[in-house]
Structure 1
C-alpha cells in the first residue's frame, strides 16, 4: 500500500484549495486536494511541505489530521492521509496540475474528484 498525504488548505474567506491533475499523470483530469507520495523516513506533514513547494511553489504549515481513506484503484492501493494546512507564502506555479481553484465547501460537489479524495469532499460539505 502506498501512503499519500493531502492538504486541506482553507483561506481567510473559508474557501478550500483544489487542483486538477495534469494530462499524462495518473488520475488526469480529476480534481484533488494537493499533496503527494510520502517518501521513506518522511512524515505526512513533511511530505506536504515538500510536495506543495515542489508542485505549487507554496509554503504551507500543516496542522491537525483531517482524516484517512484507503482506496483500491485495482493496480495500486493507497492510504490517503489528509491534514488541515495553512498557506504561509508563495506565488502559485503549477507543475503536476493544469488548474487550481479556491472553492466554497458547498461548491466541492460541482467538481469530479479522484476516487480516493471523495471521502474528504463528503466530510467537508
Structure 2
C-alpha cells in the first residue's frame, strides 16, 4: 500500500482549494485535494509541505489531521492521509495541474473528484 497525503487548504473566507489533474497525467480531468506521495523517512506533514511547494510553488502550514481514505486503483492501493492547512507564503503557480478553484464546501459535490478524495468530503465538513 502506498502512503499519499492531501491538504484541505482553506482561505480566509472558508473556501477550499481543489485542483484539476493535468492532461496526460493519471486521473487527468479529475479534481483533487492537492498533495502527493510520502517519501521514505518523511513525515506526512513534511511530505505535504514539499509536495505543495513542488506542485504549486507555495508554502503552507499543516494543521490538524482530518482522516484517511483507502482506495484500490488498478495500479495499486493507496492510503490517503488528509490534513487541514493554509497558505503562509507565495502565489499559486500551477506546475502539476491544469487549473484550481476555491470552492465552498457545499459545491464540492459538483466536481468530479478523484475516487480516493471522495470519502474525505464527509470528513471535512466545515
TM-score where L is the length of structure 1: 0.97
Q: Which residue of 1 aligns with 2:37?
A: 37
2:59 maps to which residue?
59
Unpaired segments ≥5 residues, structure 2: none
- Partner SS state of residue 120, structure 1: helix
TM-score (norm 2): 0.96
State the match for 2:114 in structure 1: 114
1:100 aligns with 2:108: no
8 Å contact kept, 2:66–2:124: no
- Aligned position for 2:80: 80
CA distance in 2, matches of 1:82, 1:123: 9
CA distance in structure 1 between the partners assigned to 2:16 and 2:60 by the alignment: 14
1:15 equivalent in alignment to 2:15? yes
CA drift of 1:122 comes to: 2.7
Which aligned segments of 4 or more residues in structure 1 are displaced greater than 4 angstroms? none
Q: Which residue of 1 aligns with 2:69?
A: 69
CA contact (8 A) 2:3 2:37 kept: yes
2:71 is the counterpart of 1:90: no
Q: Provide the aligned C-alpha RMSD in A.
A: 0.9
Aligned length: 125
